[in-house]
Every structure is written in C-alpha cells, then in structure tokens.
Amino acid sequence: MAKRVYLQTFGCQMNVYDSERLKSSLLSQGYRMTKTPRDADIIVLNTCSVREKAERRAWGRLSEFCRYKQKNPEVVLVAAGCMAQRLGQALTEKMPYLDLVVGPDRILQLPEYLQNHPKKSQLAICSSRNEFDSQKIWEKEVLPHRKIRFTSFVAVSRGCNNFCSYCVVPYVRGPETHRPIQQIIREVQLLARSGCKEVTLIGQNVNSYQFEGKDFADLLQVVNDQTDIEWIRFMTSHPKDLSERLVEKMATLPKLCEHIHLPLQSGSDRILKKMNRGYTSSDYLKLTDRIKKRVEDVSLSTDIIVGFPSETEEDFEQTLKLLRKVEFDSAFMFRYSVREGTKAAQLKDDVPEDEKLNRLHAIIQLQKEISGRKNQRLLGKIFEVLVDERSRRNQNKWKGKTRSNKTVIVDGNEDLLGKIVSVRISSSDSFTLFGEVQHQIFEKTPIN
C-alpha cells in the first residue's frame, strides 16, 4: 500500500514553496498525503528559525510528534527546513525519536532518503552548500503542488548575502543563488496553463536577482511579456537594491501588481547602522516617496523590529515618526529576539522584555490606525479582485485580493472562485475591505 505522509509547514513563503515542491515530488513517487498525523506513516515538519518564538513552536510540535512516535514506533519522523539546518545532528541528539533531519536545500532529496533509510537511521542531511551545490540546486525542476490553484509562489533566488546583524537566514539558507531565467519562465507558464492567475516571485532578497546580465527589472519584463499569467507580484525587496528601473517597471508593466513589501526594520539611523541595513531613514523616505509618486495606487507594506539592542525610547520614536510619514498599508511587527551565531548576538540584549512588549503594542496600535484610515479612503472605489478562497468565517462569502494586495470579502457563489472580478468597496476595517461584485472583468476559456 502507498505510504502516507503528513506534512506541516512553519515559516515564510520560501518554506511554503519548498513544502509544495516536496509534496509534488512525494506524490509523483507514489506516496499519498494525509490531513492528520494519526493517519500517517511518515510525519514531516518543515521548520523556521527566524525568531525564538518560531523555534519554540517547532520544538513544541516536534516534541508532540516524538511522544506520538513513542507509542507508534513504526512512524518515520522527519524535521526539515531552517531549524533542522541550524541544529543538524544536535537535533537528533536532543530528540532521539527523530529519524531524519533535512536542511532546506536537501528537502527534495527526502523521498530518496526515505527509500534508502526507511527507519531509525538518525541521519542529519544538512551539509552546507558549496559552489557545486549552488549550481546544482536549480537542476531538479519540480512544479509545486498547491492547495489553492489560482495563486502560486515561484522562487527566483535562494539564500541571502546581506547578513543583517539580527538575522539567521544567511546562515541557514546559505549564500544567494539565482535561478536561470528560462526555468522561471517555464514554471510561470506551466502554472498559467494549469489555471493559475497570479504568481509571486520570491527570494530572500528578490530584487538583487542577476542572471547572465539580466537583473530583476529585466526578469519582470520577460515574465510580463513571455507568459500568460495575469498578475505578477514579488517579495521580499531590500531597499538598498531597489533600482529606478524597477520602479519604472512597476509603473508601466500591465501584469505587475501595485504593491511592494519593503522591510524598513527601524526608523533610527543609529539602529539601522547597527542592523547593517545599508540605508538611512531619509534614503528610505526618498525611495518610498518616489514609488508613491510614480506608481499610481501603489500600496506599501513593511517589517519592523522593536527592541533591538540599545534601542532607546528616542530611537523608537523615530520609527513611529517614519511610520506616520510613509503611511504603510500594512506592517509585520516583531520583538527583537537574539539568534545565536549572528552579529547582533554579541550585543547586549538590553531592552527589557516588558519594554519590548510595550513598544510592540504601541506600534501595532499606530499601524492599525493608519491602515484603518487608508482603507477608509477606498470606500466607493472599484478594484479588480482575484477571488481565491471561501471565507473561513462565512461559508457564503468569498475572499480575494486586490492588485494592491488588500484582502477583500465579497458575497457570491462558487463561480467566483479563481476569477478576477470588479468589486466596489462598501466598508472596511484596518485589515479587510468588504465589497460587492460589479461584473467579471474577464473570464478566460479553460485550457485543455
């Protein structure tokens, strides 16, 4: 009988993408996926290391699986992804019930390992990437297996060379490597042919893409011109690598959506320097002003860290000030947490936890007000919306996204799923828009 796999994913889009490709690879090799660990012969947890909380969550879940395995010794238990990479063999030592530990660059080899070491091998496969691996990493072309068919991530690069002082990603994901342009086009076109409407080109630092003399702006042009995908998004961009040409592409390429995720991290120049971000608050402000001026109806989102070592009340005020000036549409806000082995880990983590929490609450509150205000300005306007899911709260409502990446809830029936429709916004809160479907903008004839 076919072996059944339960796969759970923590972490960012890149982990989701890796899991989707793993799933696809497992299915093509005769495995079946299950919805609960209880039905599984093999349990895989794809882990994240980015903050302490993410690792704690992974530890907790792995411990649960270990307890389960204690009673069901025939189950094969696998830790994959960034935490697996960071801890390697140490993880198997701490968790004797773990069979396999697989780093992010090895994840597609998992079916092979499962076959060769079906049980109790306590193997850690997370050797760091060398030159040879960097080239080989793109060789295996596996199309992701998606739960929602209409929107998909497509990796254009992996790894990161930036070494922001707080961040573990360059250590666990290795150096940046760029995917051949033709492979990206092929994947986007295959997705478009299979009914996908929107792709998000992903990379830890997506806008530093370089391949045979082509940069990220060129790549966007090619995806726009040479594929049948309807909408193109990308993330995550680093402010220091955001070129004038990229802004121009955002203003002019019809398929490219008007949203940019541009992590700021802090509004204090002193802290930005300690974070090794490579820009000042005024560089950032100039950049966002330029984007707003050139790209009509653009929406901006960001990441913020509060409580970085030595951050004073005044530094924090600078961050609040910048948030008010830029007026982001949304933001992900985090409390600083020390990551072992990073540069910032050598600094004293001297902002008390309760102060970090106070700052976090204050900044979340401010951003909520800004988002709410910005969303209110959209009342009565009409937007294109790609409907991609049933609303979780109400079975008769549907969820979609505008080109500017805002979540919209509409009434309607199943026919809306996977369509780009025209929606008039009737109400809003800080996180969501609500609207009425006007008419379908277009409906493509299905491709056989």
Please, what is the minimum distance in Å from the beta carbon of residue 381 to ligand SF4? 33
Bridge partners, 210 (sequence order):
215
Contact partner, 337, from ligand SF4, ligand SAH, ligand F3S, none, Cβ < 5-8 Å per class = ligand SAH
> What's the token pair of residue 355?
């102060």
- State the binding partner of 49 from ligand SF4, ligand SAH, ligand F3S, none, CB within 5 to 8 A by kind: ligand F3S
Number of residues this chain uses to bind ligand F3S (CB under 6 A): 13
3-state secondary structure 271-282: HHHHHCCCCCHH
431 binds ligand SF4 per the rule CB under 6 A: no
- Any contact of residue 45 with ligand F3S (CB under 6 A)? no
Asked whether 335 and 308 are in contact (CB, 8 A), the reply is: no
Task: Give the integer Cα–Cα distance in Å for 295 and 137.
Answer: 35
Q: How far is CA 195 from CA 90, 186, 388, 408, 444, in A?
A: 43, 15, 12, 21, 9
> Which x/- pattern, by CB under 6 A, does the window 162-181 give for ligand F3S?
------xx--xx--------
- The residues with which 33 forms a beta bridge, in sequence order, are 5
User: What angle do the packed helices 216-226 and 181-193 form, to 10 degrees?
Assistant: 40
Among 45-53, 253-261, 294-302, 355-363, the segment contacting ligand F3S (CB under 6 A): 45-53
Residue 147: burial class (beta carbons within 10 Å; 0-12, 13-18, 19+): exposed
Residue 336 interacts, among ligand SF4, ligand F3S, ligand SAH, none and using kind-specific CB cut-offs from 5 to 8 Å, with ligand SAH
Q: How far is CA 113 from the centre of its chain?
A: 27
266 torsion bin: left (phi>0), alpha (psi -120 to 50), beta (else): beta
Instruction: Give the residue with the Cβ less far from ligand SAH, 12 or 181.
Output: 12
Binding mask 320-359 for ligand SAH (x = CB under 6 A): --------------x-xx-x--------------------
Query: Are the CB atoms for 145 and 18 separated by under 8 Å?
Result: no
Residue 15 in the binding site for ligand F3S (CB under 6 A)? yes
x/- binding map, residues 190-229, to ligand SAH, per CB under 6 A? Answer: --------------xx------------------------
| Residue 197 binds ligand F3S (CB under 6 A) | no
Residues forming beta bridges with residue 436, ordered by sequence position: 424
Cβ proximity to ligand SF4: between 47 and 375 the closer is 47
* Smallest distance from ligand F3S to CB 81, Å: 6
Tell me the β-bridge partners of 30: none
Size of the site for ligand SF4 (CB under 6 A): 10
How far apart are the C-alpha atoms of 252 and 257, rounded to whole Å? 10
Q: Interaction with ligand SF4 in 221-240: which residues (CB under 6 A)?
A: 238
In whole angstroms, the minimum distance from the beta carbon of 169 to ligand SAH comes to 6
With contact defined as beta carbons under 8 Å apart, do 6 and 44 qualify? yes
Minimum distance from CB of 142 to ligand F3S (Å)?
Answer: 19
Subset of 76-95 contacting ligand F3S (CB under 6 A): 81-82
Q: Which of 120, 67, 58 lies closest to 86 in space, CA to CA?
A: 58
Q: Does 162 bind ligand SF4 (CB under 6 A)?
A: yes
